[in-house]
Structure 1
């Protein structure tokens, strides 16, 4: 095997096909002819003596060998980024970039506040913060598009390292003047007596609700459904409806007195966890590692 091929243009073209899903689309992104991309892929497969893709009518999909090569490429480029930052640090340039993918409940208020606090001590660190659904957070971390994933999790994810884990129970959220607002704890049976504003069926929170209701023989009939959390939160402020989310996403509303969040006694509502995730086996840049420690300290202060 000619191992130099793993460091050359062929690898760049290979990864573009991985991202694009076809030679034609990859060529358009690279601004080269499709035949040039095909030649580089063929060269890789010849040098490695194995096929890397399953060719299908609607594009190209990595096979097992291709998955191994793609993982190698991602780690190589991530290591190059980290070394570049380390060299700048040796020169006394306290700079760096942290790429974070987070679900809405953390991206909206929790993380911006912590980033601002962090930058008072390390002003040279810049952040890219993207809000994604949970499955997209996992994908971005796994494929090296994000250094850190901040999300809620119900189970372990292949290929990811859990840097930090903290309970994130689901709460019943309602207007401050709602008849149930002063309860110390509620059951889903009590909550379902009122109109419901619910997240979309694909969300992890909705899946938990569906599992718990199915176990108890309860039926969910929302009056409002949304793929985003904050339309639901704002809806319940002016109605008798109830929605569900974690405490982290509600801090401003709770501090203003507009909302109340009441714990739920149902088992499934207490099985969610807040997680900070990174790519397993990756040596994170110093800036990303420092921010994870900042997150850990902030959660420790909250008890």
Structure 2
């Protein structure tokens, strides 16, 4: 792995703060790749399996890095390895350097007129099923050489993938800013009450949580940010918030309420396919907390994105502006 921010083999070795000479090439060799894989995997065994090498080879490379840098990079624990402060610094530098290499490679291809590249997107379920694939298809109609990888993940995992450089773009909902990330695009994404078309509340323009919780509830898993928001809001108002049906995925919840008198909750962008079928309707909620969520497109702070990823963000922005 190489970067313009690292010394070349022809330059003098850097000197550590304690006066010890450090071989600068150690930061350009295979050891750094192995180091990053252990940082991602959390263990030497898992990293070796991903790299298709022997665990002893990974262990030797980590040991060499630590000797050359004269510091430990991991905390060794019974169930794996976790980066310490020095390891976090090295990992942040290595990730950015590798991302710069990928960007420059794609920029060179673009200069040659090949229009090739891969856009890696991490997204929460509501956006990964329909919204993003539709936009990717539209984008590829103009730029057929661009490939897409879209992974559906929990909100916290979307943030982690972007922060660690495993995704170029994160598409999720957020209630607060995230450290180390740029918000490229932010759009209101209020929580709506979702119910069958024949539900007693279906004809209303607005409802309150107090009115909704008088009916059976189909709720997302307790670990989801939406469920946590609902629990907090209901607790503040002393409202019941017990589910007759729970799922970690959106589509089972929507399909359930379409066939029962239960109510679930979601944002409009994630519901479009279902709303178009007419099986369910979405009603706005009056409660303040339910209107403070935002759809966000996130990237790693300080990173110069590849041309294809930047162009796709512009495509996303134009699509939302057209709807407004």
Do they fold alike, i.e. is TM over 0.5?
yes
Equivalent position of 1:250 in the other structure: 271
Deviation at 1:46, TM superposition (A): 1.8
Shift of 1:26: 2.7
- Counterpart of 1:213 in structure 2 is 234
1:157 aligns with 2:174: no
Partner Cα distance (1:275, 1:123) in 2: 26
Please, which moves more after superposition, 19-28 or 160-169?
19-28
Match of 2:288 in 1: 267
Out of 12, 26, 46, the residue aligned to residue 67 of structure 2 is: 46
Match of 2:9 in 1: none
- CA shift at 1:31, angstroms? 3.8
TM-score, normalising length: structure 2: 0.91
The 2-side partners of 1:111 and 1:58 are apart by 37
Give how far 1:34 is off: 3.2
What CA distance in whole angstroms lies between the structure 2 residues aligned with 1:194 and 1:147?
41
Distance 1:112 1:24 in 2: 35
Size of the aligned set, in residue pairs, is 303
* CA drift at 1:27: 3.1
* 2:153 counterpart of 1:132: yes
- Secondary structure (helix, strand or coil) at the match of 2:206 reads coil
Q: CA separation in 2, counterparts of 1:29 and 1:301?
A: 43
**1:62 equivalenced with 2:83 (yes/no):** yes
Q: Say if 1:261 and 1:28 are closer, same or farther in 2 by CA, change over 3 A.
A: closer
User: What residue ranges of structure 2 are gaps of 5+ in the alignment?
Assistant: 1-21
Match of 1:101 in 2: 122
Does the alignment pair 1:277 with 2:286? no
Bigger shift: residues 179-188 or 52-61: 52-61
- Kindly provide the CA deviation profile for residues 234-271 of structure 1, in whole angstroms up to 9, marking residues without a partner as x: 11111111110000111122222221110001111001
Q: Counterparts of 1:84-233 in structure 2 under 5 Å? A: 84-233=105-254
Distance 1:259 1:33, change over 3 A: closer
Q: Distance in 2 between matches of 1:176 and 1:31?
A: 53
- Range moving further from structure 2, 261-270 or 1-10: 1-10
Give the Cα separation in 2 of the matches to 1:164 and 1:53: 35
Among residues 67, 82, 100, which one is paired with 2:103 in the alignment? Answer: 82
2:44 maps to which of 20, 23, 39? 23
CA drift at 1:288? 0.3
| Cα distance in 1 between the residues matched to 2:58 and 2:244 | 51
- Identify which of 73, 94, 103 aligns with 2:94: 73
Between the aligned partners of 2:98 and 2:317, the Cα distance in structure 1 is 27
**Comparing 54-63 and 35-44, the one that deviates more:** 35-44
TM-score normalized with structure 1 length: 0.97
Q: CA deviation at 1:227?
A: 0.3
Shift of 1:39: 2.3
